[in-house]
């Protein structure tokens, strides 16, 4: 991390080293090939599980291991060293798919799904966003109609991370009337008849599996309802707070990497007989980058501390995500400028991160939506 974190214990540091070793051995040597192939091996999930990445922070009764918010920040920082947001998002898609199930689902549903995913034997995805809905979750249109002991699902989802190969999908559906009160959550197994999936091509996150999902008369048992009808919006809103803090931490981690790579390049690159870093204009760029990285670090740590105290800092999480993603766009752009052509060609971490900056300011709630939410929370 860019500076010492007083919240980290020797156990946190040991975990960070284990994840760093895992990334250096299992991910970094292959990530560029995976990006070009637009996928990564399914076997990587089991390897990540062996390191303790997948089970972190989930209930021990379901195969999880204790892990506070600082463990999650450590995991994000170390995984980011590979320089692939798609790898991070795809490998860790269960962190947004499983929390509603763990919080609201029946014991039978939890035991059937969660241990498999945490062991790396199955993949889980969250399916909320719709083609006409975006961040407007309360007005989603995918409908689930009760028919005896089953629900029949009709609708579509889009931009679903791990959506093509997910074995289990936590799907937001409408079981009631309009608005947030009519939203519920449903577990849909990936092999259900009536579930169709197509992969999407993207500007960035190439190696992540991103799908459009069609539900055409897809039948699921009524027991697959997660919690009770009408609880879906509540479950998703709590989930979004964790996701947004995770996206802010991701933006900070990638900004730190861009700064490190830019400094290293500026020290090595010779221009007109001098190292590039001796040029005042470059040093000033690096200082401007460092200023933003450190400000984001402080904000992420402050919000993380609030979360660890059991608070629900909704406005602060929104502000943190927006500030972090804006900072990353600036830092990544300046890093590419410093590297010049070396930062523009494929294969460089900075090139990949630069292409991926916009998805962080859109995913988990677009910046404009989060500004409105923060304003309401703050009473403006």
**pTM for the full model?**
0.93
8-state DSSP, 23: I
Q: Among 229, 255, 280, where does a domain finish?
A: 229
User: In terms of domains, do 303 and 360 share one?
Assistant: yes
Give 170-226 pLDDT, tens digit per residue. 999 999 999 999 999 999 999 999 999 999 999 999 999 999 999 999 999 999 999
Give domain status of residue 1, yes or no: no
Give domain status of residue 216, yes or no: yes
- The CATH code of the domain that includes 48 is 1.10.540.10
Give domain status of residue 2, yes or no: no
Q: Among 195, 229, 263, where does a domain finish?
A: 229
Q: Is the pLDDT of residue 133 over 80?
A: no
Separation CA 253–CA 297 (nearest Å):
9
Give 32-81 pLDDT, tens digit per residue. 999 999 999 999 999 999 999 999 999 999 999 989 999 999 999 999 99
User: In terms of domains, do 161 and 247 share one?
Assistant: no
User: In terms of domains, do 170 and 214 share one?
Assistant: yes
User: In terms of domains, do 99 and 57 share one?
Assistant: yes
User: In terms of domains, do 44 and 73 share one?
Assistant: yes
User: In terms of domains, do 259 and 361 share one?
Assistant: yes
Domain that holds residue 15: 10-118
pLDDT at site 2: 43
User: In terms of domains, do 247 and 370 share one?
Assistant: yes
CB 207 within 8 A of CB 79: no
Give domain status of residue 4, yes or no: no
CA dihedral sign, ordered 19, 22, 28, 30: negative
Helix (H/G/I), strand (E/B), else coil: 47: helix
Q: Which residues of 196-211 are buried (b: 16+ CB within 10 A; e: fewer)?
A: ebeeeeeebbbbbbbb
- The CATH code of the domain that includes 147 is 2.40.110.10
CB 374 within 8 A of CB 315: yes
User: In terms of domains, do 109 and 132 share one?
Assistant: no
User: In terms of domains, do 177 and 295 share one?
Assistant: no
Give domain status of residue 5, yes or no: no
CB 236 within 8 A of CB 183: yes
Q: Is the pLDDT of residue 1 over 50?
A: no
User: In terms of domains, do 359 and 248 share one?
Assistant: yes
- Measure the CA angle with vertex 123, ends 86 and 81; round to 5°: 30
CB 102 within 8 A of CB 92: no
User: In terms of domains, do 174 and 271 share one?
Assistant: no
Rounded percentage of the chain residues whose pLDDT exceeds 70: 99
User: In terms of domains, do 48 and 130 share one?
Assistant: no
**272 Cβ neighbours under 8 A, 6+ residues apart:** none
Give 313-348 pLDDT, tens digit per residue. 999 999 999 999 999 999 999 999 999 999 999 988
pLDDT at site 7: 82
Helix (H/G/I), strand (E/B), else coil: 146: strand
- The CATH code of the domain that includes 359 is 1.20.140.10
Number of domains, the chain: 3
Separation CA 254–CA 338 (nearest Å):
16
Q: Where is pLDDT greater, at 105 or 237? A: 105
- Give the H/E segment covering residue 360: helix 349-362
Calculate the dihedral angle through the C-alpha atoms of 162, 356, 200, 220, rounding to the nearest 10 degrees: 30
Query: How many angstroms from the chain centroid is the CA of residue 78?
Result: 14
The yes-or-no answer on residue 43 being catalytic is no
CB 324 within 8 A of CB 361: no
Query: Which residue spans within the chain are E strands per DSSP?
Result: 124-127, 143-147, 150-161, 168-174, 183-189, 195-199, 210-221, 225-226, 270-271, 274-275
Q: Among 118, 138, 166, where does a domain finish?
A: 118
The active-site residue, picked from 35, 229, 243, 356, is 243
The span from the first CA to the last CA of the chain, in angstroms, equals: 35
Give domain status of residue 169, yes or no: yes
Q: How far is CA 197 from CA 3, 25, 151, 155, 165, in A?
A: 43, 32, 20, 12, 9
């Amino acid at each position: 991390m860019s500076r010492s974190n007083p919240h980290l214990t020797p156990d946190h540091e040991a975990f960070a080293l284990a994840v760093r070793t895992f990334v250096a051995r299992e991910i970094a040597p292959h990530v560029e090939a995976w990006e070009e192939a637009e996928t990564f091996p399914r076997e990587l999930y089991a390897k990540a599980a062996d390191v303790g990445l997948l089970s972190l922070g989930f209930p021990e009764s379901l195969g999880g291991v204790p892990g506070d918010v600082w463990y999650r920040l450590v995991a994000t920082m170390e995984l980011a060293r590979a320089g692939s947001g798609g790898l991070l998002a795809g490998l860790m898609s269960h962190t947004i798919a499983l929390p509603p199930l763990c919080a609201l689902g029946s014991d039978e549903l939890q035991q059937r799904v969660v241990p498999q995913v945490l062991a790396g034997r199955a993949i889980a995805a969250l399916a909320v966003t719709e083609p006409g809905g975006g961040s407007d979750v309360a007005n989603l249109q995918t409908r689930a109609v009760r028919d005896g002991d089953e629900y029949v699902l009709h609708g579509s989802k889009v931009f679903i991370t791990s959506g093509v190969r997910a074995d289990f999908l936590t799907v937001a559906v409408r079981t009631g009337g309009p608005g947030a009160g009519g939203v519920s959550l449903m577990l849909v197994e990936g092999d259900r008849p009536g579930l169709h999936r197509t992969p999407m091509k993207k500007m960035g996150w190439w190696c992540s599996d991103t799908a459009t999902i069609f539900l055409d008369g897809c039948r699921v048992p009524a027991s697959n309802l997660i919690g009770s009808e009408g609880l879906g919006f509540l479950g998703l809103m709590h989930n979004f707070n964790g996701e947004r803090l995770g996206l802010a931490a991701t933006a900070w981690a990638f900004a730190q990497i861009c700064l490190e790579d830019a400094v290293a390049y500026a020290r090595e690159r010779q221009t007109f007989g001098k190292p590039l870093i001796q040029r005042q204009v470059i040093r000033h760029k690096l200082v401007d980058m460092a200023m933003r990285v450190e400000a984001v670090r402080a904000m992420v740590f402050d919000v993380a501390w609030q979360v660890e105290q059991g608070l629900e800092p909704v406005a602060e999480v929104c502000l943190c995500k927006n500030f972090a993603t804006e900072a990353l766009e600036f830092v990544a752009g300046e890093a590419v400028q410093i590297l010049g052509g070396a930062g523009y060609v494929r294969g460089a971490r900075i090139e990949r991160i630069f292409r991926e900056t916009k998805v962080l300011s859109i995913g988990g709630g677009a910046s404009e939506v989060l500004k409105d939410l923060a304003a309401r929370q703050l009473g403006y």
